[in-house]
Amino acid sequence: MRRQVAPQIGWLLIVIVVGFAVVWPIVQLQYRAFIDGGSAFTRMGELPRIGDTVRTTVILAFLSSALAVLVGTFLAWCASLLPRRVQKFGELAPLLPLIVPAVAAVTGWIFLLSPKVGYLNMMLRQLPLLSGLEEGPFDIYTVKWIVLITGMLLSSFVYVFVHTGLKNMGQELEAAAAACGASPVRILLTVTLPLLRPSIIFAAGVVFLLGMGQFTAPLLLGRTSRIDVLTTEMFHLTLRYPIDYGLGAALGFPILIAGFIVVMLQKLALGEQRRYVVVSARSKYDARTTRWWAAGVIGVYLLITTVLPLLALTYVSLSPFWSGSLVMTELTTRHWKSVLDNPVLVNAVWTSIKTSVIAIAILIPLGFGMAFALLQSTRIFKPIRMAIDFLATLPMAVPASLMGFGLLFAYTRPPIQIYGTAAVLVVTYITLMIGHATRLQFTTLVATGQEFLEASKACGGGALRSLLQILLPLCRKGIGATAALTFVLLFHEFSASLMVRSARTQVIGSVMYDVWTGGVYSEVAVLALIMVLVTVIGVMIAVWIGGSESLKKI
């Protein structure tokens, strides 16, 4: 439309800039995999144990996501059975694992289940039947445990979606089926599960992608017994010089393809609008049956995923060294002091905070603009809206580790040679989170209702007035919560940070890895706990701004 051409240019610019940031590194990287007649794939085939690596990647993706879907759905069902007195806390409890960064959780589990000196293993060996063992009975450095731990880490995500689905459904539909004479089993099969199908499919797709791109658990747990997945192979490449980007691209190629297929399947299975699961609070649970054992299940889950690893971390951080024995008398704050006195480590924490905050300051308005554009059916050209939709979805299909590898490639050479500066971290964070920031704010905008905006236009309010006086005040909570939650996710960021860090630009996740490789486990524990503490503060701010519902948006 003639009048509309001018504003389109602004949107087009956003698409070009964001598109460049998100798509270009991947395209450029993948190009390297295919030049020279695909010799990179030949080199990939020649990697030692490449067969095992691919197999582990596939196993990890399928089994951990299957486990996550089962556990998460079961938890959501348990949460719907919670007695009223514990309901409020019980519904939030399965989200608490999200507060513990994956690195911290995995480290905690190593302290518990390391075959020789893991605390749980030591305790189990006290039992009469197992007393003959030298080590074990569990060995966390195996594919089995990598799958189990990854599955547990991912189950919280499934819980978020399925629980929200159950809540939004309310109790009335089930009550209506019961009034029609349906038995509980029939209700479950004919009403509850079909209605939850979109939530479950969506969640399954999300965790499958996360499982396939999983980096943290395989990296930390696989090293001892030389277990690798495609993303850890990619990371090993970055440690050598010169970096074989072609090979890295070849390693990332299968992940990229699988990611696209999953996102496509999700689209097909869910239709257009359902990809954005709208979170809205509706509590109609009243005449429901409640079970106390449900609280027990959630309690056990919380204990396993959060309490035990945190206890282990705390204990190790206060012990002189990690020996496996539990001696309370020798506790010391030495490691806390040494971490806080170490300028490299403190700097890394500050860099994490600073780069995250700068990234968020750019992400929030950018994501808001993109979310807003997605909602405009009349004023913005369809191709532009489709491009924005694509850019908001793409980062979901590309694991952070692969994205990090691509960004490392893109920013170590002209035209934008920013490797080695803090800017590369900011750009990386923006690239990783732009989809997230867009989708969360889209949810907020949808929940706010298009009509308030239309009412403003009908009253003669122009774009700026509508934005400042209507949209922003109404979305303030959602935007604030998005900012706080994005901060948490960035502070947890490990995979991409590890790829793009340099000696001069370290963040908390990357220095933690160095300390870990150096074997100073007590300091690893301290850093992990600092991560948790800062996260808790971030979440508290989010809850303070956006109410407890915002916790579920993670």
Residue 438 CB, shortest distance to other proteins, in Å, is 22
What phi and psi, each to the nearest 5 degrees, are found at residue 183? Answer: -75, 160
What CA–CA distance (Å, rounded) separates 457 from 373? Answer: 16
Per CB under 8 A, 451 contacts other proteins? yes
Decide: is 10 part of the binding site for other proteins (CB under 8 A): no
Q: Is 474 in the site for other proteins (CB under 8 A)?
A: yes
Quick one: which of 132, 108, 136, 110 has its CA closest to 122? 136
d(CA 308, CA 532): 14
- Nearest distance from residue 315's CB to other proteins, in Å? 49
Task: Tell me if 4 contacts other proteins by CB under 8 A.
Answer: yes
Q: Which of residues 246-265 bind other proteins (CB under 8 A)?
A: none
Selected range binding other proteins among 131-139, 212-220, 279-287, 458-466, rule: CB under 8 A: 458-466
Q: Does 454 bind other proteins (CB under 8 A)?
A: yes
240 near other proteins, rule: CB under 8 A: no
Q: Which of 292, 227, 322 has the alpha carbon at shortest distance from 515?
A: 322
CB 350 within 8 A of CB 357: no
Please pick, from the candidates 136, 299, 420, 461, the single residue that binds other proteins as defined by CB under 8 A.
461
Nearest to 291 by CA among 542, 82, 532, 521: 82
How near is the Cβ of 458 to other proteins at its closest, in Å? 4
Task: For residue 270, give both structure tokens.
Answer: 């869910």
Distance, first Cα to last Cα, the chain:
39
Judged by CB under 8 A, the number of residues near other proteins is 26
Is residue 280 a contact residue for other proteins (CB under 8 A)?
A: no
CB of 4 vs other proteins, minimal distance in Å:
7
Mark 370-399 with x for binding to other proteins (rule: CB under 8 A) and - for no binding: -------xxx--------------------
* Calpha distance 349→262 (Å, rounded): 35
Q: Which is nearer to other proteins, 261 or 468 (CB)?
A: 468
- CA 505 to CA 496: how far, in whole Å? 13
Q: Quote the least distance from Cβ 5 to other proteins, whole Å.
A: 10
Residues across the chain = 554
Distance, in Å, from the CA atom of 388 to the CA atom of 374, rounded to the nearest integer, reads 7
Per CB under 8 A, 473 contacts other proteins: yes
Residue 23 binding other proteins, by CB under 8 A: no
DSSP assignment string, 133-177: -SS-S--SSSHHHHHHHHHHHHHHHHHHHHHHHHHHHTTHHHHHH
- The pattern of x and - marking residues 329 through 368 that bind other proteins according to CB under 8 A reads ----------------------------------------
Check binding of 456 to other proteins (CB under 8 A).
yes
Contact flag: residue 462 with other proteins (CB under 8 A): yes
273 binds other proteins (CB under 8 A): no
Report whether 228 contacts 78 (CB < 8 A): no
CB 182 within 8 A of CB 190: yes
| Residues within the interface to other proteins (CB under 8 A) | 1-4, 377-379, 449, 451-452, 454-463, 465-466, 469-470, 473-474
